[in-house]
Amino acid sequence: MESLKEDLKKHIIEQLNLEDLQVSDIDDDAPLFSADGVGLDSIDALELIVLMEKFYGIQVTNPDEGKEAFLTINTMADYIEKKRI
Amino acid sequence: MTYIGAEEIISPLGQNIKENFQAVRENRSGISLIPKAGFNKEDIHLAKIISLTEENKFEYLLIEILNKLSQQIDTSVISSAKTLIIISSTKGDLDRNISNPFEPAIGALAKRFNLKNQPLIVSNACISGVLAINAANNFIKIGLHEHVIVIGCDVISAFVLYGFQSLFAVSALPCLPFDKNRSGITLGEGCSAVVISNTKEIFKNSPLELLSGTSANDANHISGPSRTGEGLYRTIKKTLEQNNVSANEIDFISAHGTATVFNDEMEAIAFDRLNMSDIPLNSLKGYFGHTLGAAGVTETAISMQMMRNNLLVKSLGYSETGTSKILNIATENRSSELNTILKTASGFGGCNASLVVRKL
Amino acid sequence: MSFITAYCQISEVTCSVNGNVVVQKNEQSVDTWFKQLYKELALEYPKFYKMDMLAQAGFLGSEFIKKGYPDLIPSYSDDEIALLFANSESSADTDIRFRDSYQDRKSPSPSLFVYTLPNIVLGELAIRNKFYGENMFAVFPKFAPDFFLQYGNIMLASGAKAVLAGWLGILEGRVEVSVFLIEENNGDGLPFNKENIIQCAGWGDQA
């Protein structure tokens, strides 16, 4: 689970062009979409959907499903564990 | 005074303005289900010109529209040194040459019609059409040109469709502007044109008056509309103030109404802030789909036809209110004295534009 | 009377402000040229990294102008600075990248798609500076000084008090960028005419 979270952070940083961020800068429970957390926006949320498919083979067909799952690294990791083949 | 007239349209609803307005009057939609068009080969609703099989669609449409338009104005205008052509388009001939999407078609157009001035291409997302008409007006008022022909043109491509699909912005059903159940856009293609001039006599049918329009940015997000409708609010306010037109002189609003949840909500908020929510309003995207660079010109052209016929046309796809501020959306055709109309547009990049057309 | 009061030119290897080179590309650096320019500006604006090259070009040009002219934005109200930009390839640089993103059975990238319109750079400048004024993005086969002169003057005559203008030639590594500021004032700067537009902002042959 720990390496899943670390890989996830690496993928997010790369896919979302979070260039000045390191893996160690993202806390597992930091709110991804809050300005106090990682500060992602609505386009980032859609890129996370692409990322789910690209790296984990998970098809998110409805962006609202993503909203729930993508709250923090922890919730994303749980979601991946549940959903991936 | 600046005149606007000679409106023409080529779309799934017809090959000329007469056919197009007849279809709109009959509330017929140009949207159909196109098999396997989507990224995952799913069937997608599109307003596609099925009969258009030419290889270079964009170039073909530009030439065709100018041919049609030439029947409606003095024959010397198109190739006059006092005439500028403005093309409004978001992606041009993208599939023909991705690195050079405009020049080959524009070059062909210039040669075919012996154009004396380098055409200006306005590529400003979905407000391009309204922006181009405003630019035309500006060029004429400042005396740089006497006639400006504005052509709006965009064709459907996998590139654009897949892009909107990646944003989850494409409706599974034909789009429902302002409706409670709306869920995204229906892409369309088309080519339309209007002539703007300082000379009434060049028009075979009497023109209308074009008042100066404006644009304003939301300064908020590059793809999501402002939650307060700030840019749209500002452009409409500026357009009305600059022409000394009050909101209650507007008989009808041709809104942008793309049928995404956020866009239509944003427009409702802006119109409400301006105390314009009681003014009869429609979106034409239920008829034509969202034709991007052509939208502002096509929808202005149909609005002009509505004025000429004193016919307020129903907003196709709308049945139940779906915005937090309630608008006066036309639910059926009805006769109405339409003397002064407002056209608005909003687009990616946070841009918004508006113009006013008035009967002489 | 209007004047060009500041200008920035960016090529593949140099960045100049008002005619003087301020940054030369460091070929040894691991950072891209545009990242080097961003770091030179010492800004805290992570949105920069999400922008495509076209938007970054407009952003960098305008930030270098602002750096030398800190009073610029506060001197005007929020809709008095109009944006007037053009190029000859539209958003082709990003269009190519977006198209690549969905070929070979990969999924189309939404963050690339939103930049496949050339006017997005105007949105980025508006967001950064809280500009609520007029926008226009045009496409020409070659650098078009007449267009900047005519439409710049039109914008100034219709309510803008200043125009931030630019030519953003970006395609597959080619960088021919200029951003310039036109203001109505008492005589500081170069008179806003065709010759000076070419001098401050011209690239290659003119239209």
Residue A63 reports pLDDT greater than 90: no
Task: List the CATH number of the domain containing B129.
Answer: 3.40.47.10
Taking CA C179 as the corner, what is the angle to CA C52 and CA B160, rounded to the nearest 5 degrees? 30
The CATH code for residues A2-83 is 1.10.1200.10
Is B7 found in the same domain as B114? yes
Instruction: Indicate the domain borders of chain A.
Output: 2-83
Last residue of a domain, one of B155, B186, B202: B202
| ipTM, 2 dp | 0.97
Residues B235 and B161 in one domain: no
User: Pick from A17, A39, A46: which is nearest to C49 by CB?
Assistant: A17
Q: What is the mean pLDDT of chain B?
A: 97
Of B98, B124, B166, Cβ closest to residue C109: B166
Across chain A, how many H-helices and E-strands are there?
4, 0
Identify the domain containing residue B285 by its residue range.
210-358
pLDDT value at residue A83 = 87
Q: How many domains in chain B?
A: 2
Q: How far is A30 from chain C (nearest CA, A)?
A: 18
B185 and B230 belong to one structural domain: no
Q: In chain C, what percentage of residues exceed pLDDT 90?
A: 94
Q: Are residues B194 and B255 in the same domain?
A: no
The Cα–Cα gap between C60 and C65 comes to 9
- Please state which CATH class domain C2-201 belongs to: alpha beta
In terms of domains, do B153 and B223 share one?
A: no
User: Residue C207's pLDDT band (boundaries 50, 70, 90)?
Assistant: low
Question: Is any Cβ of chain C less than 8 angstroms from the Cβ of A60?
Answer: no
> B350 with B272, same domain?
yes
The structure tokens 């495509």 sit at C52
Q: What is the largest CA-CA distance in chain C?
A: 59
Tell me which of B178, B202, B226 is where a domain ends: B202
Q: How confident is the model at residue A85 (pLDDT cuts 50, 70, 90)?
A: low
Residue of B168, B223, B227, B262 for testing the chain A interface, max A β-carbons within 10 Å: B168
A interface test, pick of C49, C53, C115 with most A CB neighbours within 10 Å: C49
Chain A to chain C Cβ contacts (< 8 Å) = 30
Nearest to B282 by CA among B246, B328, B214, B225: B328
Using a 10 angstrom Cβ sphere, with 0-12 exposed, 13-18 middle and 19 or more buried, the burial of residue B35 is: exposed
CA torsion angle B262 B153 B300 B7 (round to 10): -170
> Is residue A71 predicted with pLDDT exceeding 80?
yes
b/e map of B122-161 (b: 16 or more CB within 10 Å)?
Answer: bbbbbbbbbbbbbbbbbbbeeebbbbbbbbbbbbbbbbbb
pLDDT at C206 exceeding the cut of 80: no
